[in-house]
Amino acid sequence: MRLEAFGEVLRLGLVNLLRNKLRTFLTMLGMIFGVGSVIAMLSVGAGARREILARIQKLGINNIIVHSIKPPEETKTDTQEENRWFAKYGLLFEDRELLEATCPSVDRVLPINLVKQPVWLGSRRVNAAVMGVLPEHLSMFHLAVARGRVFNEVDAQERKQVCVVRRGLVEDLQLLDDPVGMQVHLGNESYEIIGVLADARFRSHTREALAIDEHAQDVYIPYTTSMRNFGTMTYIQRAGTQEMSSVELDEMIVVAKETSLVRTTARMIEAVLRHNHKKKDYEIVVPLLQLEQQEQIQSVFNAVMIVIAAISLVVGGIGIANIMLATITERTREIGIRRAMGARRNDILLQFLTETAAIGVVGGLFGCLFGFVAVRAVVAFTGWQALTEPYYVLLALSISCLVAIAAGIYPARRAARMDPIGALRYQ
Amino acid sequence: MLQGIELTIHPGEFVGIVGASGSGKTTLMNIVGCLDRPSAGRYVLDGEDVSTLDDDALSLARNRSIGFVFQSFQLIPQLSVLENVEVPLYYGRRSRATRRARASELLASVGLSHRLRHHPAQLSGGECQRVAVARALANEPALILADEPTGNLDTQSGEDVMQLLFELHRAGRTIVMVTHNPEIAARLPRVVEMRDGAIQRDSGALAEAGR
């Protein structure tokens, strides 16, 4: 019976709202924007979190990446007296040994020998980055094979001519058959493809952020094989100019023992390298710091969105309160009639609260729709990731319902407290 | 406003209350209709002293024991004729099916079966007042309180409504009616005349005294 009575009240409320559709819609607008921004905020926030996680996985939170870079042009004149016929710069084998030996917070240092070499398959050619890495490198960066296998210690020790390629390369080579077991040429040597990596599918923005596109054509070969076949010399021929350079260590990944030691380790690396190198021919990238920076930006964004959502909801609530007050004034006689017919104060209160709650729920539903559209728009315009969980809808609906009821309390109480005699006489 | 009022209305009576504006008849009506409480004194309605009831209990008393007919009809414009008649039944916590059936039956008894789905604005004044009478009867109240029921109607419609009230009276209903119209007052079995917050003349009291 109580439930039936509530159903009646709800029906009455909905009938009253439908009677004045435009006004109801305008009343809901604030709610719609408020709920929409809540949904958008949550979705974009969750998307960003997922992206950060992907980034952590990609770069490794405990890692510090040190690249060799060519020193600025001006320093070249300084070295001219040495009169080398090739440029020698970058990280030294010694740097790696020194770091492993002196730095207690370093777990290990993974060297990378990077060679820009085209990959040939018969007459087809694809430009690729050939990375000579230790066997553990692949597992450290969660690079798992989709088919075939990764290379192991034995391959490394025997300096086997094997390679692991990315799916992107397979696509670029236009291979339709199973690439595992095929022979490709890198430089003067022939290598057997032993594995194809399972590339995680990223959306465009993540791809950009993680610079995955650059690595789409990566070819991994054992470090030892790479050192034997390519050595430290790089020969680049561009239109009209030739350049020879010698870089002992193209890149090294310093793995800290714990995440909490990453900052200290980074400072130590900086100190060691500054001591060993006259020129700044290296670059230190700390993913952890980048992530923290990104998280900071994210938290600022979240704070802004929360404020926007809160303001919209408050404004929406005020809008509802305002319209309800107007409605109650307009319906004073109705209230008087109902009271004369035996409605108790609580009946009137419940009637108007149900109407505002219905505005809240319906407004919340429209708000969710608006939110979905807004998320789509944000994703389309900024390339950010978004993740909308189903429970956001429930959360947004309860928020809007609560705000609407809170906004409706004062007008409903005012309606309930009207003097029936005065209300009946109201013109 | 009111001073030294002593008025007894027996079941089945049709009492007219007349008096100039400011004579206190509206206040008397409000108290009799349980819309207001006397600041002093007692009001016994249908055997129950309602002068000390709280707001909720008074609402219940109105719902159960009073049927209002107002000068300006006081129908809810957003609701259909049928729904308007259902309002007192709704607050009497009747089920929906019961309400529907009872309201249709009442509207049929005032000759408005063909108007159930209409809204008050689509009806003539006389029809509106008949809807109001049907609504007043919804909960079988002990007392029907009519406040100038013919005041907003043309002569013919007013006469129709008066006929309806007389019919109800003949059927045994208790009716109290406020009126300005001396012609109508003259046709009522008992007339109470108010002046300056007091009863100046009560034909029923005379009749009783003469009995």
Rounded to two decimals, the ipTM of the complex is: 0.94
**With an 8 Å Cβ cutoff, is A327 touching chain B?**
no
**With an 8 Å Cβ cutoff, is B59 touching chain A?**
yes
Chain A residues touching B77 at Cβ < 8 A:
334
Check pLDDT > 70 for residue A194.
yes
Interface test with B, best of A12, A339, A341 (most B CBs within 10 A): A341
Q: Bigger pLDDT: A11 or A313?
A: A313
**With an 8 Å Cβ cutoff, is B58 touching chain A?**
no
What does the block give as tokens for A171? 């696509």
Check pLDDT > 80 for residue A271.
yes
Q: Bigger pLDDT: A24 or A409?
A: A409
Of A337, A345, A424, the CB nearest to B55: A345
Over range B125-144, report the average pLDDT.
95
Residues B14-210: name the CATH superfamily: P-loop containing nucleotide triphosphate hydrolases (3.40.50.300)
**With an 8 Å Cβ cutoff, is A236 touching chain B?**
no
Tell me what pLDDT residue A202 has: 46
A424 vs A343: CA distance, rounded Å? 13
Does the distance separating the beta carbons of B78 and A334 come in below 8 Å?
A: yes
Exposure b/e, A71-99, CB count within 10 A at least 16 = b: beeeeeeeeeeeeeeebbbbbbeebbebb
Q: Bigger pLDDT: A384 or A206?
A: A384
Q: Please give the residue of chain B at the shortest CA–CA distance from A426.
A: B74
Task: Compute the nearest-CA separation of A327 from chain B (Å).
Answer: 13
Tell me what pLDDT residue A2 has: 58
- β-pair partners for A187: none
Over range A5-33, report the average pLDDT.
81
Domain locations along chain B: 14-210
Chain B residues touching A5 at Cβ < 8 A:
93
Q: Where are the beta strands (DSSP E) in A17-99?
A: 63-68, 87-88
Check pLDDT > 80 for residue B168.
yes
Cβ(B128)–Cβ(B73) below 8 Å: yes
Q: Bigger pLDDT: A99 or A54?
A: A99
Does the distance separating the beta carbons of B30 and A340 come in below 8 Å?
A: no
Does the distance separating the beta carbons of B75 and A341 come in below 8 Å?
A: no
A249 vs A232: CA distance, rounded Å? 8
Check pLDDT > 60 for residue A79.
no
A239 vs A234: CA distance, rounded Å? 16
Q: Where are the beta strands (DSSP E) in A169-269?
A: 183-186, 189-197, 219-222, 233-238, 241-246, 251-256
Of A5, A333, A341, the CB nearest to B93: A5
Tell me what pLDDT residue A83 has: 47
Tell me what pLDDT residue A199 has: 64
Over range B24-53, report the average pLDDT.
90
Of A5, A341, A344, the CB nearest to B87: A341
The H or E element spanning position A391 is helix A390-416
Does the distance separating the beta carbons of A4 and B95 come in below 8 Å?
A: yes
Q: Please give the residue of chain A at the shortest CA–CA distance from B34.
A: A340
